[in-house]
Amino acid sequence: MLNRIFGLETEYGLLVHQDRPDHSPTWFAHKIRDHIFQVQRQGVLDLHHRGHDEPPGNGGFLMNAGRIYLDMGHVEYASPECQSLTDMVATDRAGDMILQRAVQDLGLAEQVSLIRNNVDHETDATFGSHENYLVTRRFPFSRRGLAPLVTFLVTRQIFTGSGRVGAASPQDAWIQMDRLIVPRAALGHGAASPQLPFQISQRADHIVNDFFEWVQQNRAIVNTRDEPLADPNQYRRIHLLLGDSNMAEYATALKLGTTGLVLQLIEDGKAPRDLDLDEPVETLQEISQDQEREWIVRLQSGKSLSAIDVQEQFLAAAKAHCQGQDEETDWVLAQWETVLQDLRGDYQQLVGRIDWASKLWLLETFREAEQLDWLDPMLKSLDLEYHNLHPQKGLYYGLVEEGRVPRLTTDKAVDLATEHPPRNTRAFGRGELVKHLLTCGPPTDTEGALKEERLFPAYVINWSIVQVRGREAFPMADPFKTYVQEVRSYLANP
């Protein structure tokens, strides 16, 4: 894709298969993390505080330059920086493979399951799949400038949603109104949803703002935190947390690719006009919950049209402005058009490509065979099993085995991506440092070094800067640069 860096952060559910387990899911999460870093030696643990909730040892960088860490008790994997959708899908799936291998290596595969989804049906909790897109500092990051992005994001769930049984309870949250922060319920929002059999998005019920900076309890369509993890004079990072975790490689690539193209349209002043939504948050939830799948949205102009119509306007603008700029762009445009056409017909045409359609087809097939009502708890169990990372248990992998799922990568490519970062971003240089530390270890523990260690850890690795004790800090402010030769020289010359 043209001038774009992508990244994904995935939080995993952890299901314990015991009525009275000896250990909590968090205990198992610690075991998995420790096994990856201390036994399998897939990476190096942090030696410094990354924040009040990330003490030393909470997580670390991997050989593939991504990260595994614990967040609010969940295992989370952050991919390395990627320039292509092919690399993005491979490195994203590499996180699944690293974690599932650890579970099996520990002999825990019959006790626990890692679930790549976004909802806990028992507690009504949600956990995230965060998308990251690098844009220039010139990007119009204002309510007016971001309005086309909000409209696109609200309506893209028709092909990016992972689907779920039921609905979440009303969310207790606060909304920013001018300079005031007021309860959402005070504005008449958040009324109880009727009991739903199925909806197309897992995260929609949990999004309560259009724009907000902090993610806990005030999840927004666009997160406004300004944390570029790169040269702040040149770049901004668009951080999104409204999307679902996708099992289908096709859906992952389409989600990232279409969003990347819409960002390009906004950057270049070519985004469709007059598509501002009347109530973005409510529209997000109404689309997800629409049992007839008509997906009608109301614009600020008073006009009503379908989410498919809206998406087709973005597609037309992207075809006019972006077609022919590179091979991946043309793939995204072709698949975007095909999916929108198929969405106008029988949803079963999308099985294997789009997660909500695949899951709905599996659940409907089972429900009809067993004569079950949508309220039967078995359906919630099957909902979770669609996302199970165990290749012999996960329902998604059953579709793969049946040949119903188009692959964008291969098992061999994913295996390589567990230890090798993309070779055209700064992830390459960071991966060299991690491999050096695993092979050679930190600097020799002389008596002086041991005294220093209380104040200065043997190494510090962050996304945009690294330091090995005894050397100056080494910034890596440009995500498009590999820094591999510079890192090798840095390590060779104390």
User: Is there a catalytic annotation at residue 71?
Assistant: yes
- Which H or E run contains 368? helix 355-370
With beta carbons less than 8 A apart as the criterion, state whether 81 and 426 touch. yes
Q: Look-up: residue for tokens 């040269």?
A: 231
198-199 and 43-45 strand pairing: unpaired
- Measured distance CA(314)–CA(316) in Å, rounded: 5
- Measured distance CA(191)–CA(138) in Å, rounded: 39
- Measured distance CA(307)–CA(165) in Å, rounded: 22
- Among 34, 71, 124, 276, the one annotated catalytic: 71
What is the C-alpha radius of gyration for the chain, rounded to an integer number of angstroms?
A: 23
Distances (CA, A) of 134 to 3, 6, 7, 197, 484: 9, 7, 9, 38, 21
Burial 7-31 (b: 16+ CB within 10 A, else e): bbbbbbbbbbeeeeeeeebeebbbb
Which class for 439: exposed (0-12), middle (13-18), buried (19 or more C-beta within 10 A)? exposed
- Which H or E run contains 350? none
Residue 325 — φ and ψ, nearest 5°? -75, -25
Distances (CA, A) of 414 to 411, 424, 440, 487: 5, 17, 26, 25
Task: Specify the 3-state DSSP secondary structure of 316.
Answer: helix
Residue 434 half-sphere exposure, CB side, CA atoms within 13 Å? 28
Active site residues: 71
